[in-house]
Chain A
Amino acid sequence: MKVILHNISKTFNGREAPLPALAPVTLHIKPGEFICFLGPSGCGKSTLLRLIADQIEPTTGQIVLDGDTPTSTRQQKAIAWMAQNPALLPWQTVLENVRLPLQINRQHQRPAPTPHELLDMMGLMDFASAYPGTLSGGMQQRVALARTLTTGAPLWLMDEPFAALDALTRETLTGEVLHLWKKFHPTVLWVTHDITEAVHLADRIVVMTARPGHIRGIVTLSQPRPRDETTMEIAQKIREVRHLLRNREQPVTGEPT
Chain B
Amino acid sequence: MSEKNLEIQSFAYDHNGKRELLPHHSGVMRDAISVLSIVGIVVLVWEIIVRVQEIPSYILPAPSAIAQTLTGRAGDYITATLVTLGEALGGLVLGLAIGIAVATLITFWTHLERGVLALAILLKATPMVAIAPLLIIWLGFGPLPKVIITAIMTFFPVLINVHAGLHAVEGAQLSLLHSLNASRWEVFRYARWPSAQPYLFTALKVVAPLSLIGAVVAEWAGASSGLGRTMWLAYANLNLPALFAAVFCSAGMGITLYIAVLVLEKRLIFWNT
Contacts and interface: CB of A to CB of B under 8 A. Distances in A.
Nearest to B183: A105
A87 B181 contact: no
Which of B170, B172, B186, B194: most chain A CB closer than 10 A?
B172
Nearest to B15: A129
A80 interface: yes
Given A100-B190, A127-B16, A134-B18, A105 B180 contact: yes
Contacts of A134: 16, 18, 20
Contacts of B179: 53, 55, 74, 79-81
Which of B15, B176, B178, B179: most chain A CB closer than 10 A?
B179
Contacts of B183: 105
Contact of B181 (A80, A91, A105, A126): A105
Contacts of A89: 173, 190-191, 194
A92 to B, nearest CB: 8
Interface in A89-118: 89-91, 100-101, 103-105, 108
B172 A133 contact: no
Contacts of B178: 54-55, 74
Interface string A122-154: 000011011111100000000000000001000
A88 B35 CA distance: 40
Which of B20, B176, B183, B270: most chain A CB closer than 10 A?
B176
A11 interface: no
Interface string B191-207: 10010010000000000
Which of B16, B182, B194: most chain A CB closer than 10 A?
B16
B181 A75 contact: yes
A100 B197 CA distance: 20
Contact of A81 (B170, B176, B190, B273): B176
Given A101-B180, A105-B180, A126 B17 contact: yes
Interface in A13-50: none
B18 A104 contact: no
A7 interface: no
A238 interface: no
A77 interface: yes
Contacts of A79: 179
Contacts, number: 70
Interface string A40-77: 00000000000001110000000000000000001111
B21 to A, nearest CB: 12
Nearest to B273: A133
Contact of B16 (A77, A85, A129): A129
Given A74-B181, A89-B191, A104 B186 contact: yes
A104 B175 contact: no
B271 interface: yes
B177 interface: yes
A160 B173 CA distance: 16
A83 B182 contact: no
16 contacts: A55-B179, A81-B175, A81-B179, A83-B172, A83-B175, A85-B170, A90-B271, A90-B273, A91-B271, A104-B177, A105-B180, A108-B181, A130-B18, A131-B270, A133-B273, A134-B16
Interface of B: 15-18, 20, 170, 172-173, 175-183, 186, 190-191, 194, 197, 270-273
Interface of A: 53-55, 74-77, 79-81, 83, 85-87, 89-91, 100-101, 103-105, 108, 126-127, 129-134, 151
Given A55-B175, A100-B190, A104-B177, 20 more contacts: A74-B179, A76-B181, A80-B179, A81-B175, A81-B176, A87-B172, A87-B173, A87-B176, A89-B190, A89-B191, A91-B271, A101-B180, A103-B190, A104-B181, A105-B180, A129-B16, A131-B270, A132-B271, A133-B271, A133-B272
